[in-house]
Amino acid sequence: MSPGPSGTSHEGARNVASRSSRTGGAEVAAQRRVPVLDGLRGLCAVAVLIYHVAYTAGVSNHFADPRADFWGYLTEGMGVFLPPFFVLSGLMLYRPFARRTVTGSGPRTKVVPFIGRRAVRIVPAFWVLVLASILLLDYDKIDGVWFFLRPLLMIHFFVRTEWITGIEPTWTVPTEMLFYVALPALAWLMHKFAHRAATAAQRARRLFVPLVVLVLIGMAWTAYCFLPSTAADVWYLSFFPFGYIGYFAGGMALAVLLSYAEVSPKKPALLRWAAKWPMGFWLVALLAYLANVPHPFGEPGMGNWGALTQQMVLHALFFVFSMCVVIPLVTPGANSKSMNLLLANKPMVFLGKISYGIYLWHVFFIHVVLNNGSMFGKPAVNSGLLRGTVGFGTMLTLVLLGTLVTALASHYVLEEPLNKKLRGYFDRKSRENGDGGTPADPKTGGAAPASAADQPVLTSA
């Protein structure tokens, strides 16, 4: 999520020769692009879009309104494509911290430039969406300045109030931002806990301890949210960041493993397996996706013990899916023609480049297609009340068109220009303080690819 170590811009890094572990060109040590990671972001962003379109078009097998056909089950299962964004954020952003602790090398990351770069990357585009949604879809609901300030300050999902139409999926933005803010302190505490160990292996093992705790916290919070006793608040509490910290921790664990692999005479077993059988990991991911489609124990959120059991199964399956999708893409020496074909093609890589905009804007355009909002002369209602009023094919076509055009404009008119101007300031501050400011490449430990490090969860997803 930052330029290269010598301060080159995001655009400049993009024009440097590609790494090509996936595409066959020459490797450049300091600045590389990892096409499959861009492609993964593009795939996940489009899958999330299809997931929401399928729900609104009334074709997905969703909770109390099931569709018995196979397509309905498959589209409802696409919820698994969101957590990989969190895993990638944990991996990319914790990588320089992990490398410094495990290997004892690398600069100390300065907190203010680190958070500043992250904020510049995700906040301006999010603010534009917020203002557009309020002024175009929820204008008649404005009741004071706090109606604007809650989402602009990213506290809208922590307040018991009606959601703003058009920004419903953006609970992930404050989730990501809180992770950005907390990561330097968390990394410092983990460093203090681990750095005095005598060997790199011992330091790596110590780092896994708090990461396991974070995974357990995520599971515990999820269980609490879906208890029968908290059923009335489940769709309020479950969007708090605590339930998703485990996915970030999974990415951080990969950062630790890859850092240890830099100095270990023998690769860790997980990385050896991923290098030898990369498609085996994707097979496990496919099985996790298919297993998350049926809900044999109950429907999460329905307020009974079966629903709680099912949610915990889904939580585990989402974790397995996310990790197994990402691991072979960041493992040194792993290569798969099938993965290249799916993720490293130019259209998918380009979708990954604008994936943040795709994620931000697609639900806004779902409401536009539904003619739902003040710009159509009527108050916006919950999109669930309009399920099935527009067919899947029509809605998907129109939403894709509006979203792609807006995401392109957001990327080239807003995001990239601001990144170049404002992030340059933070990068200069980082260099002045002896901090390279660049997340490490997941495969080599060098500077991260501009594309790989520059995307939020959703994006980023």
262, 445 contact by CB (below 8 A)? yes
If you average pLDDT over residues 446-453, what whole number do you get?
A: 39
127, 224 contact by CB (below 8 A)? no
| CB within 8 Å of 345: residues ≥ 6 apart | 39
Q: Quick one: pLDDT at residue 105?
A: 84
Average pLDDT score over the chain: 86
If you average pLDDT over residues 404-428, what whole number do you get?
A: 87
395, 369 contact by CB (below 8 A)? yes
Position 433 confidence tier, pLDDT thresholds 50, 70, 90: low
Both tokens assigned to 109: 């990351």
177, 118 contact by CB (below 8 A)? yes
Higher pLDDT, 167 or 62: 167
Report the alpha-carbon distance of residue 331 to residue 23 in Å, rounded. Answer: 15
Residue 173 has pLDDT above 90, yes or no: yes
Report the alpha-carbon distance of residue 171 to residue 46 in Å, rounded. Answer: 18
Q: Quick one: pLDDT at residue 214?
A: 98
Q: Quick one: pLDDT at residue 69?
A: 72
Both tokens assigned to 343: 């993720």
Write the secondary structure of the chain as one string of H (helix), E (strand) and C (coil): CCCCCCCCCHHHHHHCCCCCCCCCCCCCCCCCCCHHHHHHHHHHHHHHHHHHHHHHHCCCCECCECCCCHHHHHHHHHHHHCHHHHHHHHHHHHHHHHHHHHHCCCCCCCHHHHHHHHHHHHHHHHHHHHHHHHHHCCHHHCCCCHHHHHHHCCCHHHCCCCCCCCCHHHHHHHHHHHHHHHHHHHHHHHHHHHCCCCCHHHHHHHHHHHHHHHHHHHHHHHHHHCCHHHHHHHHHHCCCHHHHHHHHHHHHHHHHHHHHHHHCCCCCHHHHHHHHCHHHHHHHHHHHHHHCCCCCCCCCCCCCHHHHHHHHHHHHHHHHHHHHHHHHHHCCCCCCHHHHHHHCCHHHHHHHHCHHHHHHHHHHHHHHHCCCCHHHCCCCCCHHHHCCCCCHHHHHHHHHHHHHHHHHHHHHHHHHHHHHHHHHHHHHHHHHCCCCCCCECCCCCCECCHHHHCCCCCCCC
Position 67 confidence tier, pLDDT thresholds 50, 70, 90: low
Position 72 confidence tier, pLDDT thresholds 50, 70, 90: confident
Q: Quick one: pLDDT at residue 386?
A: 94
If you average pLDDT over residues 137-161, what whole number do you get?
A: 93
pLDDT tens-digit map of 342-393 = 999 999 999 999 999 999 999 999 999 999 999 999 999 999 899 999 999 9
Half-sphere exposure of 34 (CA within 13 A, CB side): 30
| CB within 8 Å of 286: residues ≥ 6 apart | none
Report the alpha-carbon distance of residue 186 to residue 200 in Å, rounded. Answer: 19
pLDDT tens-digit map of 205-230 = 999 999 999 999 999 999 999 999 99
pLDDT tens-digit map of 273-319 = 999 999 999 999 999 999 998 888 988 988 999 999 999 999 999 99
Q: Quick one: pLDDT at residue 61?
A: 75
Please list the residues that pair with 65 across neighbouring strands: 62
If you average pLDDT over residues 247-272, what whole number do you get?
A: 96
pLDDT tens-digit map of 188-210 = 999 999 999 999 999 999 999 99
Percentage, residues of the chain above pLDDT 70: 83
Q: Quick one: pLDDT at residue 453?
A: 42
Higher pLDDT, 294 or 334: 334
Q: Quick one: pLDDT at residue 447?
A: 38
Higher pLDDT, 73 or 319: 319
pLDDT tens-digit map of 103-137 = 988 888 889 889 998 999 999 999 999 999 999 99
Residue with structure tokens 């299809």? Answer: 50
Q: Which residue type occupies 2? A: S
Please list the residues that pair with 62 across neighbouring strands: 65
